[in-house]
Amino acid sequence: MRPWVPSTSATTLRQHILRGGSSLNTPGFVNISLKQPVGVVAAIIPWNAPLVFFCKKLAPALAAGNAVVLKSSEKAPLTSLYVARLAQKAGFPPGILNVLSGHGPVSGAALASHMDVRALTFTGSNRTGKLIAKMAADSNMKNLIFELGGKAPAIIFNDADIDAAVRETQFSIQLMSGQTCMANSRIYVQRTIAESFIEKFKAAFTSARLGDPTDPQVNHGPQADKIQHATVLRYIELGKKTGKLVTEEQSVSGLYINPTIFTDVPEDAQIMKEEIFGPVVIINTFDTEAEAVANANNTEHGLYASVYTKDLDQAMRVASRLEAGTVGVNCTGPTKGDDMPFGGQKGSGIQRESYIHSMETFMETKSVLIKVAGL
């Protein structure tokens, strides 16, 4: 497999966004730096938004001049195959865009260990990310770009627009039945407004219409499969032992999970520390700004966080102290800027992605030292 020779438009894009440099600081030399494709990039994407991840990972890697092998999730293989067929019809050269179907322990492991793959971008769980990192280190030390799990906190101060905060945080945790890495599964509400916030949030969250997600009247579908359904139920049972369940017990059949709210959960509880990936939210209270920030940061996850307040000074102060790759001010996940770097701090990722920022991630920087006589 060979690096791609991009079209004129792709080459122009690279020249305008990713430029090398030059230097006369070494006596007798004119030195330059070059940006060049790494060669072959592997991309491993999750099932929950296959088209988004297909485009987000392939577009910058291809624009940077690389060939790409993408492994789709075994739970959602058809989207990637369909888009690959469209790319073929659009005239992509053979061997430049390749889609591989299969399970992680076989297909994913082959890419993570392959000596011809020089960079690998992955979105998924922390556990799988660690396995990929070990395989990459044991093979050829390939460059890694990881977007891993989240446990996104939302901090609601007493001067916030409560109705907007309820509406947006409820949508964040309910979107795709809680199966997104940016879902704000932890909400910290200032004590003076907690009763009002929880009452409104519960009314909005539990009004979900469960059913077939292809039905326009439905806004809450099932969990992805039996394994994920059982995982969420297990966390709910753990939550009952440590916190207060303020919603009804599970009463639905199939792979559906009722919207679930816990309050008064200890910060060291398992459901506060681990990503549940379901429609389960913990709402705790706080008194001071420092307390809210400390609790929000008390996790190894650091993908997304948000703060709701009308005080701009407070918003900027808190945003700078939150340990997250993205912080939303008076907004929350899935809101993000596609032209901004996206990724996680701590256990939530390595490096950053975006349609433009990622191009440099998929390129090597080379220094060329040119000795000039008489200079």
pLDDT band at 14 (very low <50, low <70, confident <90, very high): low
pLDDT number for residue 5: 53
Q: Structure tokens of 278?
A: 């379901």
Given a contact cutoff of 8 angstroms between Cβ atoms, the answer to whether 93 and 4 are in contact is yes
pLDDT number for residue 175: 94
pLDDT tens-place string over residues 19-36: 788 999 999 999 999 999
Range list of β-strands (E), 127-256: 143-147, 153-156, 186-190, 244-245
Please, what is the average pLDDT of the chain?
92
Catalytic site includes residue 331: no
pLDDT tens-place string over residues 31-78: 999 999 999 999 999 999 999 999 999 999 999 999 999 999 999 999
pLDDT band at 304 (very low <50, low <70, confident <90, very high): very high
Q: Is 176 left (phi over 0), alpha (psi -120 to 50) or beta?
A: left
Output DSSP code: residue 195: H
Could you state, in order of their start, the residue ranges of all structural domains in the chain?
A: 8-148+344-371, 153-329
Whether the pLDDT of residue 2 is over 70: the answer is no
Q: Structure tokens of 339?
A: 């032209």
pLDDT tens-place string over residues 86-130: 999 999 999 999 999 999 999 999 999 999 999 999 999 999 999
Through-space distance between the first and last CA atoms of the chain, rounded to whole angstroms? 42
Identify residue 91 by its one-letter amino acid code.
Answer: G
pLDDT band at 18 (very low <50, low <70, confident <90, very high): confident
Mean pLDDT along residues 342-350: 93
Catalytic residue of the set 147, 168, 274, 353: 147
Name the architecture of domain 153-329: 3-Layer(aba) Sandwich (3.40)
pLDDT number for residue 249: 82
Given a contact cutoff of 8 angstroms between Cβ atoms, the answer to whether 101 and 81 are in contact is yes
Catalytic site includes residue 147: yes
Q: Is 178 helix (H, G, I), strand (E, B) or coil?
A: helix
Strands 22-23 and 326-329: unpaired
| pTM of the predicted protein model | 0.90
Task: Kindly list the distances between the CA atom of residue 345 and the CA atoms of 32, 221, 258, in Å, as whole numbers in the listed order.
Answer: 33, 30, 31
Whether the pLDDT of residue 16 is over 80: the answer is no
pLDDT tens-place string over residues 225-244: 999 999 999 999 999 999 99
The CATH number of 8-148+344-371, from 3.40.47.10, 3.40.605.10, 2.70.70.10, 3.40.50.720, is: 3.40.605.10
Q: Structure tokens of 84?
A: 């690959």
Given a contact cutoff of 8 angstroms between Cβ atoms, the answer to whether 257 and 232 are in contact is yes
Q: Structure tokens of 108?
A: 């994913």
pLDDT number for residue 13: 54
Q: Exposed (0-12), middle (13-18) or buried (19+): which is 288, by Cβ within 10 Å?
A: exposed
Catalytic residue of the set 181, 275, 289, 353: 181
pLDDT tens-place string over residues 251-288: 778 899 999 999 999 999 999 999 999 999 999 999 99
pLDDT number for residue 298: 96
Backbone angles phi, psi at 305, to 5 degrees: -145, 160
Given a contact cutoff of 8 angstroms between Cβ atoms, the answer to whether 24 and 50 are in contact is no
Mean pLDDT along residues 323-338: 94
Q: Could you tell me what percent of the chain has a pLDDT over 90?
A: 87
pLDDT number for residue 12: 54
Sign, Cα dihedral of 285, 289, 291, 296: positive
pLDDT number for residue 310: 97
Contacts of 367 (CB under 8 A, 6+ apart): 31, 32, 33, 34
Whether the pLDDT of residue 245 is over 80: the answer is yes
